[in-house]
Amino acid sequence: MGLFLRLLGTTTGNLALTLGARGGLFLAGGILPAIGAEAVAASAFHERLVAKGRFRGYLDAIPVHLIHHPDTAALLGLRAWLDDLREEQP
């Protein structure tokens, strides 16, 4: 499990740099919900995520979220988007 989480951290960090992520990284699906946020936090995941030399500060500022209910994630995102639109309306 430790090896999996280290590899996930490395890959996630690479993708965040490649895609220019700033608003957050959202991890969902597979075995992550079964592993749990505590186990991910206790692993070397975050250290491998930010281990990118001079880009460490950039990656360290990106929040990481574990989606526990992937079946409703799209609906929650849509609701947040609609809430933002409603706040922008005069």
> Which residues 6+ apart lie within 8 Å of 55 measured at CB?
17
> From 3.40.367.20, 1.10.260.40, 1.10.150.120, 3.90.1330.10, which CATH number describes the 2-88 domain?
3.40.367.20
Query: Which letter, b or e, does each residue of 50-88 get, where b requires 16 or more Cβ atoms within 10 Å of its Cβ?
Result: bebeeeeebbeebebebbeeeeeeeeeeeeeeeeeeeee
Q: What is the pLDDT of residue 25?
A: 92
Q: How confident is the model at residue 64 (pLDDT cuts 50, 70, 90)?
A: very high
In single-letter form, the type of residue at position 23 comes to G
Q: Among 22, 23, 29, 15, which Cα is nearest to 69's?
A: 29
Q: What is the pLDDT of residue 53?
A: 96
Global confidence as pTM: 0.76
